[in-house]
Amino acid sequence: MIISGQILSETDLQIKTRTNPHTGEVTKTGSMRLLTFEPTEIIDVRISTDQMNAGAIDALKKFIGKQLDFKIAYRNFSFADDNGKHVAMSGFNLVELPKQA
């Protein structure tokens, strides 16, 4: 979906580092808090590892304070963790960076 929104400050962009307990591989993901318009709401949007590796956080910093159209997707997924426990997650994911107006 395409939604009109705004990143209010640099503190709304977060970098998260995760270490795979089996391989020791360290990956970075991110998230942003996005103020949406009509309806007005603040939502958390995940940024994938691939987008982080491509410089998404630095690109998003240039959009702070600007109202733009963001392409996001709502995803709902579940899986069994290493202990066989069922884990369910849902939320918004960034599909692509907004185009500068």
The string of pLDDT tens digits covering residues 15-63 is 999 888 788 899 999 999 999 998 899 999 999 999 999 999 999 999 9
Q: Is the pLDDT of residue 65 over 60?
A: yes
| Cis amide bond preceding 39, omega within 30 | yes
Q: Which three-class secondary structure state does DSSP give residue 24?
A: coil
The string of pLDDT tens digits covering residues 73-88 is 999 878 777 777 888 8
What DSSP line would sit under 48-95, residue for residue? -HHHHHTTHHHHHHTTTT--EEEEEEEEEEEEE-TTS-EEEEEEEEEE
Its pTM stands at 0.84
Measured CA to CA, the distance from residue 73 to residue 56 in angstroms comes to: 16
